Amino acid sequence: MQDSRATLKLDIEAEPDADAQELADLTAHLHEELLQLDVDAVELAREGEPPPGAKAMDVLGLGTLLVTLVKSAGGLGTLVSTLQGWLSGQPRSVRIELDGDVLDMKGISSE
């Protein structure tokens, strides 16, 4: 039986002059929006194993979310529509990766 679930990697890129806190805030905001969708999970990505003595937060991939959902055109379409709305009028972007395929979505500055 073929697995009917997919995990997408979302890499968020903030404005060029954004600092780590701004990227963390954007990631948290998008995380909350995606949880409102019909998805199985939205998680902060982890970047390898923590070094000895490091806090768990030290290994979170800043600006990277993993979204698990049922593989369907409707589910992916809803996710892409949500990302388009989130990017609308903003100078930021999201890179979506699924099974080696990549889609780059960019917002446009309102200035």
**Cα gap 39→33, rounded to integer Å:** 11
Average pLDDT over residues 35-41: 94
Residue 59 has pLDDT above 50, yes or no: no
Burial class (CB in 10 A: 0-12, 13-18, 19+), 42: buried
Of all residues in the chain, the percent with pLDDT exceeding 70 is 80
Exposure string of 59-89, with b = 16+ CB inside 10 Å and e = fewer, is ebbebbbebebeeeeebbeebeebbeebbee
- Can you read off the two tokens belonging to residue 2? 């073929």
pTM to 2 decimal places: 0.82
